[in-house]
Amino acid sequence: MIARDLDRLWAAVAGCRKPVIAAVRGHALGGGCELAMHADLIVAGVGARFGRPGILIGLMPGGGATQRLTRAVGKFRAMRLLFTGEPVDARSAFDMGLASEVVADAEVDARALAIASRIAALPALVARFIKEAVIAGMNVPLDAGLQLERKSFQLLFSTPEKTEGIRARLERRAPRFY
């Protein structure tokens, strides 16, 4: 297991500077659930199931679920999932904060691609700064997270995207980002 170096591979997903969307249909159990949690958004099909059943076979999470799951759903919900190994359905995953939205199974890919297209049409630098502030802010005290947010916000004032966005708003037209 050590030689597989899975954390290095999955870190590529979590460390991607662009927004990453997981499209989940069916079971996202064990490593599949952990991999989905490396994404920034999770679009789940109504038939999806999420969970960490490792305890049922004598294992614990090794792909980040003790940390990512707890941050996503809170200590008590995470402990229930981790200690019992029982999966939750897509609606429950959404309700507890483990999925961004739930759609019909047949619409999962199309919805994920629609969200990706919408984000791709917006200023990439702004999306990158948002992602950096959210991820970094989860790992530092509130004051440090707020400082990073303010710095990023201030830097964006000198970008052509900000100028175009405000000009388009004043002219009552859709912005044309580069």
Which contacts qualify for 76-84: CB closer than 8 Å, 24 or more apart? 81/51, 81/52, 82/52, 82/54, 82/55, 83/55, 84/55
**CATH architecture for segment(s) 123-170:** Orthogonal Bundle (1.10)
- Residue 122: partners with Cβ closer than 8 Å, 6 or more residues away: 177
CA angle, corner 51, sides to 49 and 54, nearest 5?
140
Class of domain 6-119: alpha beta
Nearest Cα neighbor of 24 from 15, 13, 33 is 33
Q: For position 2, what pLDDT does the model report?
A: 61
- Residue 56: partners with Cβ closer than 8 Å, 6 or more residues away: 85
- Is the predicted pLDDT of residue 3 greater than 90, yes or no? no
Q: What is the mean pLDDT of residues 144-151?
A: 94
Q: For position 11, what pLDDT does the model report?
A: 84
Mean pLDDT of the chain: 93
Burial per residue of 89-100, b for 16 or more beta-carbon CB atoms within 10 angstroms, e otherwise: bbeebbebebbb
Tally of CA atoms within 13 A in the half-sphere of 52 that contains its CB: 25
Scanning the structure block, which residue is given the tokens 């005290």? Answer: 141
- In terms of phi and psi (left: phi > 0; alpha: psi -120 to 50; beta: otherwise), the region of 143 is alpha
27-29 β-sheet, strand order: 27-29, 49-51, 88-89
- For residue 42, the cross-strand partners are 22
CA angle, corner 20, sides to 85 and 1, nearest 5?
50
Q: What is the mean pLDDT of residues 124-128?
A: 95
Instruction: For residue 10, name the pLDDT band (cuts at 50, 70, 90).
Output: confident
Residue-wise pLDDT tens digits, 46-77: 999 999 999 999 999 988 899 999 999 999 99
Q: What percentage of the chain reaches a pLDDT higher than 70?
A: 98
Q: For position 158, what pLDDT does the model report?
A: 93
Domain segments of the chain as ranges: 6-119, 123-170
Helix (H) or strand (E) holding 88: strand 88-89
- Is the predicted pLDDT of residue 32 greater than 90, yes or no? yes
- For residue 103, the cross-strand partners are 45
- Is the predicted pLDDT of residue 1 greater than 60, yes or no? no
Residue-wise pLDDT tens digits, 73-108: 999 999 999 999 999 999 999 999 999 999 999 999
Q: What percentage of the chain reaches a pLDDT higher than 90?
A: 87
- Is the predicted pLDDT of residue 14 greater than 90, yes or no? no
